[in-house]
Amino acid sequence: MPPGKKPVARAPLLRRALGGLAAAVAAFGLLVCWLFGPWSPDAAERPALIVALGFPNLGLASYEGLATGLAPESTQGEVLWRAANLAATDLDDRQHAIELLRRLVAEHPAHPRVPEALDMLGTLYERAMDDPLRAGESWAAAAQAAPDAPEAGPRWLRAGEAYTRARQPEHAEAALKAATGFTGVAVDAWLALGDLRIKPDPAGALVAYQAALSAGAKGRRASLAHLGVATALERQDKKDEALQELQGTVAVGDGDDAIRQRIKLLQESDAQ
């Protein structure tokens, strides 16, 4: 070594260089995990690519893996929703779709997909499982989960109709009454209430059919409402009023063949 020169400390420099390299590798690893792991903002999109390549079963497994892994709760709820839709459509496995939707509702009750999940559950129970009671419960829950959504009224109406088919008149009454508060379905809800009440409570049915007319029933719905009014009056032994109701409808040009036929039958009944 030349006189006056100090020895170079290579070991510390090497350690610093290796430490920097390790930090860079770790940072790169974290970046890869962020981009391709369950925390990635695009994590819910990756299974869709697998499905698009023609592997729906593998895509479903990928969705379910994300739903049970370390993904954020928002991602888990979203992938359960997508998995359920995939199971119900591409894979034609409605039962598994129901299981996935129920998981979404149970495990992530505050997730924004919950109202849609409950709505889809109602459709699956009604059409695939022939279970109108659970369908009604699901649609009612969907309406309650998003009371201000545009779909709330139709959901209440479907719930009421399903409860009626399930022979649950009290639940049907409550759901249909809720539906009458939504302009788009009010007429149908009042008509359904009239049909529900016609046997046990003709006077209540009369109120419902008249409300359907007040709500703006037109065309076929108006005809059904007028016929319902006549039936409710008949069941209260008010045949004359029933006939007047129908004749008045014809007089203003709103009567159809069904109303004219009913007038004829009432007149023949009076003649006997």
Question: pLDDT tens across 104-128, in order?
Answer: 999 999 999 999 999 999 999 999 9
Tell me how far apart the alpha carbons of residues 245 and 216 are, in angstroms, rounded to a whole number.
Answer: 17
- Residue 192 Cα distances to 69, 145, 235, 254, angstroms: 46, 23, 18, 21
What is the per-residue pLDDT for 15?
Answer: 55
The rounded distance, in Å, linking the Cα atoms of 269 and 272 is 5
With contact defined as beta carbons under 8 Å apart, do 121 and 138 qualify?
A: yes
* Residues ≥6 apart with Cβ < 8 Å to 194: 205, 206, 208, 209, 212, 225, 228, 232
- In order of 85, 88, 111, the CA distances from 68 in angstroms are 18, 20, 16
| pLDDT score of 40 | 59
Place of tokens 């008949």: 234
- Architecture per CATH, 187-272: Alpha Horseshoe (1.25)
Quick one: pLDDT at residue 205?
A: 98
Q: What is the pLDDT of residues 212-259, one digit of tens each?
A: 999 999 999 999 999 999 999 999 999 999 999 999 998 888 789 999
39 has a pLDDT exceeding 60: no
pLDDT for position 34: 35
pTM above 0.75, yes or no: yes
Q: How far are the Cα atoms of 28, 46, 97, 129, 260 from residue 65, in angstroms, in the given order?
A: 24, 12, 15, 27, 63
In this predicted model, what pLDDT tens digit does every residue of 72-105 receive, in sequence order?
A: 888 899 999 999 999 999 999 999 999 999 999 9
Whole-number average pLDDT of the chain? 87
Confidence of residue 16 (pLDDT cuts 50, 70, 90): low
- Listed range (174-178, 253-257, 267-271) with the worst mean pLDDT: 267-271
211 vs 37, which has greater pLDDT? Answer: 211
| Domain limits, the chain | 187-272
Query: Does residue 42 carry a pLDDT above 60?
Result: yes
